[in-house]
Structure 1
Amino acid sequence: MAVQTLTDNALAPGKVRRTELGTFLRSRRERLTPEDVGLPPSLRRRTPGLRREEVAQLAGVGVTWYTWLEQGRPINASTQVLDSIAKTLHLDPDEHSHLYRLADVPMLAPVTGPSCAVEPAVQQVLDELSSIACVINERFDLLAWNSAYQLLFPGLENFRGKYRNTVWSVFTSPGCCHPYVNRAEETPRIVATLRAAYAHHVGEPYWEQFIKDLLDRSPEFTRLWAQHEVAGYGTRNKIFHHPLVGDLQFTTMSMGLHGTPGLRMIVYLSADERTAEAMQGLESRQAPLRLAPLPCGHRFTESVSSE
């Protein structure tokens, strides 16, 4: 069944997108109570949240039309109607944009194809930065990094795995060996950011296989993915455990690389004096060799040797 679904996704991205839209709308509807939208409470509700009829009435659209929208039928929705639905469902700005993408609104046309090319000038910027930094795409594939980044994540030197990918690492690494300390705080946001990016790539085999592999491998990812939360990029607070110097705290910033849509440079700034001193101590040691970035979407089945 999973293989058939993947094939269908590749052949009919419009159908998959409509299904994703319907599931997202249901998840947002089910999190609200009548009191949230100014309706009297009801004791005869078999399922949580608002009824479709209530959403349709509050948004000023027909019940049948809204039902078809949730069922993933091929109907068109204007920006005015989508805005009204977003207001009714109390969508935040990230969720509102996600709704537009899933509805395939022309003004927010999806970005197609994997973003994987890193210009030589970008690598030069990474190498000349004193801060820890890397470049990832919308799928969180790790495409390029500097020596300071490898000092923070020494496992890159002897990497073994299926994907060199941040999300994959977070959800497939054993708990005893996982570098994330504030994992419970950060993993929901990571999945929400991935879900928002996925709206640009619904039905693309490159993405669908990756999501399927995560769902097959990680119950935690499966649980978070089913919540349909979405989030944008922003400043994050992250705590990592380093095998040599212990816990390190960073503030990370995400900056888009406009020359190649979908690519982002992530810069890690020391959040306290101890972290800064610990990184200086690591830099004073002999730095390991940096791995060569591999082709976009590469699937790792063997160890990756250093240059």
Structure 2
Amino acid sequence: MSVTVADTEARRRQSGAFLRSRRERLTPSDVGLPEGFRRRTPGLRREEVALLAGVGATWYTWLEQGRDVRPSPEVLSALAAALRLDPAERQHLYILNDRPPPEPRPIGPERVDEPLRRMLDSLTRQPAYVLGRRWDILAWNRAAAILFGDYEKLVGDERNIMHLVFADKAHRKLLTDWDDLAPTVLAMFRADSARYVGDPEFERLIAKLTKVSTEFRHWWSRQDVLRSLTGLKRIKHPKAGRMTFEYTSLAVTDQVGLKLTVYTPLTSDQTAEKLNSLLSAEGP
């Protein structure tokens, strides 16, 4: 038996056991069904789960038994709803069945919680900021403000990475490799923005940048996408001169769409020393 087959069978068994455990914790009244006669085992019957999810009772029984049945994402969603799974349980069910978990489209205002703000502040020698789903800069540390400029002075779209790259002349001068970096950043933004197609705020920002930047207009029409989360950024700082950083973006797991971007100074161009001098010159 190959490792792949064994792994698949193990996943099916775990999925069946997980479904059974979630079924047994519910009562008919939890899901709006009559209690009926006295039950010999706790929880819902398999037939009741099948009814709630709109699937065949025999098929659902096979699923709990770990047989070779392959539920679609739609069926998994129906089962998750029938069993009242929370987001973590729903994701677990999808992973066990080797299906991509559905990614909810975030709505409403974004927030940066205090633990993440404290982490930002603790990165005293690494510029860092938190980006929202539209790549708006929601929070930043002192090192980022000293390196890239005071974000507090920017309002609205001005505090957006895409706007800074394509519509802010001062920020563009900072980027030594702008011609190479800008299309890469745009392709990464396009990949991130796919789940928000039709969102008015995204559409407005894209329309604005299309109007003010010929480069944005040209590269946006190419439909390029990238998923790169690490790379180099070379800065030509007006006071410190040339500096080189390695940047890494990390997803904020408890808020879909948020990510933490950290710039680590490299030894080339004496970047760490120059950053320390900038931080010391600006005071505490």
Same fold (TM over 0.5): yes
Aligned with 2:281: secondary structure?
A: coil
Looking at structure 1, the residues matched to 180 and 104 of structure 2 have their Cα atoms a distance apart, in angstroms, of 29
Q: Compared with structure 1, are the counterparts of its residues 176 and 132 closer, same or farther at alpha carbon in structure 2 (3 Å cutoff)?
A: closer
Matches within 5 A, 1:176-195: 178-195=173-190
Find the partner of 2:275 among 279, 282, 286.
279
1:209 aligns with 2:223: no
Looking at structure 1, the residues matched to 212 and 156 of structure 2 have their Cα atoms a distance apart, in angstroms, of 13
Find the partner of 2:226 among 206, 228, 231.
231
For 2:123, give the aligned amino acid. Answer: L
Contact 2:106–2:256 (8 Å) recurs in 1: no
Looking at structure 1, the residues matched to 155 and 127 of structure 2 have their Cα atoms a distance apart, in angstroms, of 22
Matches within 5 A, 1:117-196: 117-130=111-124, 131-156=126-151, 158-159=153-154, 162-174=157-169, 178-196=173-191
Deviation for aligned residue 1:184 = 1.1
For 2:223, give the aligned amino acid. Answer: H
Looking at structure 1, the residues matched to 185 and 236 of structure 2 have their Cα atoms a distance apart, in angstroms, of 18
CA offset digits 1:268-289 (Å, max 9, x no partner): 011225100000111112348x
Aligned with 1:200: secondary structure?
A: helix
For 2:118, give the aligned amino acid. Answer: Q
Deviation for aligned residue 1:260 = 0.9
User: What TM-score, normalized to structure 1?
Assistant: 0.56
For 2:281, give the aligned amino acid. Answer: R
For 1:228, give the aligned amino acid. Answer: Q
Looking at structure 2, the residues matched to 168 and 257 of structure 1 have their Cα atoms a distance apart, in angstroms, of 23
Deviation for aligned residue 1:185 = 1.2
Q: Compared with structure 1, are the counterparts of its residues 160 and 259 closer, same or farther at alpha carbon in structure 2 (3 Å cutoff)?
A: closer
Looking at structure 1, the residues matched to 110 and 228 of structure 2 have their Cα atoms a distance apart, in angstroms, of 19
Match of 2:247 in 1: 252
Aligned with 2:159: secondary structure?
A: coil
Please tell me whether Structure 1 or Structure 2 has the larger radius of gyration of its CA atoms: 2
Match of 1:116 in 2: 110
Q: Compared with structure 1, are the counterparts of its residues 218 and 139 closer, same or farther at alpha carbon in structure 2 (3 Å cutoff)?
A: same
Aligned with 1:163: secondary structure?
A: helix
Deviation for aligned residue 1:177 = 5.9
Looking at structure 2, the residues matched to 261 and 182 of structure 1 have their Cα atoms a distance apart, in angstroms, of 30
Aligned with 2:195: secondary structure?
A: coil
Deviation for aligned residue 1:153 = 1.5
CA offset digits 1:15-53 (Å, max 9, x no partner): xxxxxxxxxxxxxxxxxxxxxxxxxxxxxxxxxxxxxxx
CA offset digits 1:99-118 (Å, max 9, x no partner): xxxxxx98544523266210
Contact 2:176–2:235 (8 Å) recurs in 1: yes
Deviation for aligned residue 1:256 = 0.7
Find the partner of 1:220 among 215, 233, 236.
215
For 1:113, give the aligned amino acid. Answer: I
Looking at structure 2, the residues matched to 176 and 143 of structure 1 have their Cα atoms a distance apart, in angstroms, of 18
Task: List structure 1 segments (4+ residues) > 6 angstroms apart after TM superposition.
Answer: none
Q: Compared with structure 1, are the counterparts of its residues 211 and 156 closer, same or farther at alpha carbon in structure 2 (3 Å cutoff)?
A: same
Match of 2:76 in 1: none
User: What TM-score, normalized to structure 2?
Assistant: 0.60
CA offset digits 1:104-150 (Å, max 9, x no partner): x9854452326621001111110011321110023210010110111
Q: Compared with structure 1, are the counterparts of its residues 254 and 227 closer, same or farther at alpha carbon in structure 2 (3 Å cutoff)?
A: same
| C-alpha RMSD of the superposition | 2.5
Aligned with 1:144: secondary structure?
A: strand
Unaligned ranges ≥5, structure 1: 1-77, 80-104, 289-307
Structure with the higher helix share, 1 or 2: 2
Match of 2:45 in 1: none
Looking at structure 1, the residues matched to 206 and 199 of structure 2 have their Cα atoms a distance apart, in angstroms, of 11
Number of residue pairs matched? 186
Looking at structure 2, the residues matched to 286 and 176 of structure 1 have their Cα atoms a distance apart, in angstroms, of 19
